[in-house]
Structure 1
Amino acid sequence: MAGLSSPIGRLLARHASTVIEEALGDTRVVLVNGARQCGKSTLVAQVGAARGAQWRSLDRAATRQAAAFDPTEFVAADGVMVIDEVQRVPELLLAIKESVDTDSRPGRFLLTGSARVLGLRALPDALPGRMETIELWPLSQGEIDDRPDGFVDAIFRLGPDLRHASQESRSGYVDRIVRGGFPEAVARTGARRERFFDSYVADLINRDVIQLSEIARGPEMRALTRLVAARSGQLLVPGTLANELGLSQPTVQRYLGLLEEVFLIKRIPAWSRNLSSRATGAAKVAMVDSGIAANLLGQDAGSLRQPTGPLGPLLEGFVAMEIARQLTWSRERAELYHYRTKDKVEVDLVLENRRGQVVAIDVKAAATVRAEDFRGLGHLAERLGDDLIAGLVLYTGQQTLPFGPRFRAIPVSALWELPPP
């Protein structure tokens, strides 16, 4: 089976592997969906090898041609079959559906995709009720460092009783941001890492985005990507982007959707729960990988360490995506939002679980925290009452500090260094 290698030189344990194993235990088809080069093939190769699975990679031209010629015969197998990059031959999904309807044993097919397969226009009825989709993001900081990545479960369980002391410095956070989480980028430094990021974005736009959308406006897509990177952690206003690019707003909306389809950006929806008619409905945007965001802005570790560097927005996007990664494997089922009123009172990130319990988070690039940094959290606490478990300021200092019964300043590294309860 292909894929059992890593540019880092060692195979890193991925938190998603447990989720995949659980899904294969009771679901006929499991799809691992995520960005290119985030480690999908390596992960499913490990899981598939342990199950003696057949391996089919649709990145290979001959395999792709065979799949398109006779999809039914291609998926005929007694045991588990792994199909890598299934979006390249979407006709396979109907053949898989027919196969698993005939033989309903769980764990029949393990698929990977590099675009949000169910959102692609050309795809047929794609296995409703028969398939579980697991999103895989670039490596988390905990996966890189072999740390537990248990913050989401810990904060919902412990609330303001959560404590964490960190050895990480502000400079260390800068290094993590510019490195990002793609295995190829983690394995490189300096100019070689920058060349990887440049090639990655260019290939993604020239191959996946343009093919997906049947457009020929690569330069406009690249310009839009840079503008979005500059707004990481800020409100996403398509009309403003359209004016800057000289494009129509519907065109920009479509392009943003495509960038989301290929896992380059993530929109963080607004949260209100009808607490106030003055809450804005605009989404925030974050680049899926902080290393790509920094590179698009021409920022390296040295420039981000300067007082005038754009560390704040990049750190907020970095924190948002570390939490987004955790939500794909945490036991606590929660959703990620942001909160902002028309009076510009805001909370960077809002986590709400299925029981309506909320953890509110602001992110500060400073190593010290002041009482006024809790203004937005206090505003939300007044409206939520007991539904607010904790209001946190994640900062680049090293100690957990109390700012009232439910408010805490906590080091950013708690995200990956804390174990789940």
Structure 2
Amino acid sequence: MIPRELQEIIKKRASQFPFVAVTGPRQSGKSTLLRNIFKDYDYVSLEDLDERDLAERDPRAFIRMHPDKVILDEAQRVPGLFSYLQTHTDEVGRTGMYILSGSQNFLLMEKLGQSLAGRVALLDLLPFSHSELKAAGMLPPSLDEEIFTGGYPRIFDKEIPPTDFYPSYLRTYVERDLRTLKNVGNLNLFVKFLKLCAGRIGQLLNESSLANECGVSTPTINSWLSVLEASFILYRLRPDFRNFNKRVVKTPKLYFYDTGLACSLLEIDSASQLKSHFARGSLFENLVINEFMKSSLNQGKEPRLSFWRDNVGHEVDLIQDLGGKPYAYEIKSAETFNWEFLDNLNFWGKISGYPHEQKAVLYAGAKEMSLTEANVIPWNKLTF
């Protein structure tokens, strides 16, 4: 098993809370990681019909059979069980009693908030990060290969070509997860919506445009976006509202949690196809922002990420808040540095007053430079 950076945080939280809940997309490695960490725990999957039936019909009997040191996989399948588990753990009073995992965050988080507030540590596990693959010696051979391959563990564990993995993954997700949701009716239309979202990576979200192209209402688009966010398929990067006496954009941008999945939706069939693809720059930007997100989540922290854009088009691709300070990043897929990469950072620095140490260009080149205006850093040499 490739070591996961979240592992030590999970262990620590299990020593502090009676419940630890690890959520993330399907097949991001949650079950494998938890079973590796908690080898002496019973493993119960609530996908198993017999276990699920017992948990639903007689939760007290289920708890008597599994009173302590239990991994409950796909815990969102029986949300009514949480209230009984809460009473049981309150009576016993130990930490690390139940480790919960689930891939349907929209169901799991609602019930956890209602039943286990204050008793559960919440953590997210995303597909492999660049640093995890590098440490394991399993990095794809090129940047385009890394974008195209994505980070889902099964691709690396079973050596499955991305062109085989992602179509099957999408079918499983759509047919298995979404058909149970009342707010997703026409699944074929929903897949079209997914592909349209992939074509808008890094762009300002325009719900009306998506609604028109799909032939549905704007509220339906917002509902579908919420489902995709809760399922760890895509996320909305919020705008930074610091205006520095400038009118700023208040519309979020769309990004996918995995670039390999986005490539599949864009019908990209090989890494070589990326070289001339219209979305390459956006996919590179997505890859880099994902690394910031994974770094925070793998430390058990909430990502504090945004972008900044004013109403006349000046834009900073990524703002990261660290220790109360904003750090601004311009992200470029070019392998050669161009002084124009500094234009938006210089504008932002001038109106904000923040020093050059809080500005950087992240690019696909190999040369690191410390300039008067900003630092220039190869994206794969970035340290968090």
Give 1:186 deviation, angstroms.
Answer: 2.9
Q: Per the alignment, do residues 274 and 239 of structure 1 end up closer, same or farther by CA in structure 2, a change over 3 Å counting?
A: same
Does the Cα contact within 8 Å between 1:360 and 1:377 map onto a contact in 2? Answer: yes
Please state whether the residue corresponding to 1:272 is helix, strand or coil.
coil
> Following the alignment from structure 1 to structure 2, what is the Cα–Cα distance between the partners of residues 81 and 234?
43
Does residue 170 of structure 2 align to residue 215 of structure 1?
no
> Which of 349, 354, 366 is 2:334 aligned to?
366
> Following the alignment from structure 1 to structure 2, what is the Cα–Cα distance between the partners of residues 106 and 383?
50
> Which of 174, 177, 198 is 2:167 aligned to?
198
Q: Deviations over 1:346-385 (max 9, x none)?
A: 11111012x3211111111111122221122112212332
Q: Per the alignment, do residues 388 and 108 of structure 1 end up closer, same or farther by CA in structure 2, a change over 3 Å counting?
A: farther
Please state whether the residue corresponding to 2:100 is helix, strand or coil.
strand
Task: Specify the alignment match of 2:274 in structure 1.
Answer: 304
> Following the alignment from structure 1 to structure 2, what is the Cα–Cα distance between the partners of residues 402 and 387?
13
Does residue 273 of structure 2 align to residue 273 of structure 1?
no
Does residue 142 of structure 2 align to residue 172 of structure 1?
yes
Residues 83-232 of structure 1: pairs in structure 2 closer than 5 A: 83-117=72-106, 125-146=114-135, 172-187=142-157, 192-213=161-182, 215-232=184-201
Q: Per the alignment, do residues 254 and 187 of structure 1 end up closer, same or farther by CA in structure 2, a change over 3 Å counting?
A: same
Unaligned runs of at least 5 residues, structure 1: 1-10, 149-167
Give 1:123 deviation, angstroms.
Answer: 7.3
User: What value does the CA root-mean-square deviation take over the aligned residues?
Assistant: 2.3
Task: Specify the alignment match of 1:351 in structure 2.
Answer: 320
Task: Specify the alignment match of 1:413 in structure 2.
Answer: 380
> Following the alignment from structure 1 to structure 2, what is the Cα–Cα distance between the partners of residues 411 and 259?
31
Q: How many residues align?
A: 381
> Following the alignment from structure 1 to structure 2, what is the Cα–Cα distance between the partners of residues 375 and 240?
30
Task: Specify the alignment match of 1:380 in structure 2.
Answer: 348
Residues 52-91 of structure 1: pairs in structure 2 closer than 5 A: 52-76=40-64, 77-91=66-80
Name the TM-score, length of structure 1 as normaliser. 0.85
Q: What amino acid maps onto 1:183 in structure 2?
A: P
Task: Specify the alignment match of 1:247 in structure 2.
Answer: 216
Does the Cα contact within 8 Å between 1:39 and 1:138 map onto a contact in 2? Answer: yes
> Following the alignment from structure 1 to structure 2, what is the Cα–Cα distance between the partners of residues 124 and 374?
44
Please state whether the residue corresponding to 1:362 is helix, strand or coil.
strand
Does the Cα contact within 8 Å between 1:226 and 1:296 map onto a contact in 2? Answer: yes
Q: Per the alignment, do residues 305 and 80 of structure 1 end up closer, same or farther by CA in structure 2, a change over 3 Å counting?
A: same
> Following the alignment from structure 1 to structure 2, what is the Cα–Cα distance between the partners of residues 310 and 387?
32
**Once the two structures are aligned, what percentage of the paired residues are identical?**
28
Task: Specify the alignment match of 1:45 in structure 2.
Answer: 35
Give 1:322 deviation, angstroms.
Answer: 1.4
Give 1:285 deviation, angstroms.
Answer: 1.1
Give 1:329 deviation, angstroms.
Answer: 2.7
Give 1:388 deviation, angstroms.
Answer: 7.0
Moved more, 384-393 or 367-376: 384-393
Q: Deviations over 1:213-233 (max 9, x none)?
A: 353210111011101111112
Moved more, 201-210 or 324-333: 324-333
> Which of 6, 19, 32 is 2:22 aligned to?
32
Q: What amino acid maps onto 2:313 in structure 1?
A: K
Name the TM-score, length of structure 2 as normaliser. 0.92
Give 1:274 deviation, angstroms.
Answer: 3.9
Give 1:64 deviation, angstroms.
Answer: 1.3
Does the Cα contact within 8 Å between 2:44 and 2:72 map onto a contact in 1? Answer: yes
> Following the alignment from structure 1 to structure 2, what is the Cα–Cα distance between the partners of residues 63 and 215?
28
Give 1:40 deviation, angstroms.
Answer: 0.3
Does the Cα contact within 8 Å between 2:297 and 2:303 map onto a contact in 1? Answer: no
- Larger RCO (alpha carbons 8 Å, 6+ apart): 1
Q: What amino acid maps onto 1:137 in structure 2?
A: L
> Following the alignment from structure 1 to structure 2, what is the Cα–Cα distance between the partners of residues 144 and 305?
23
Residues 387-398 of structure 1: pairs in structure 2 closer than 5 A: 389-398=357-366
Moved more, 290-299 or 385-394: 385-394
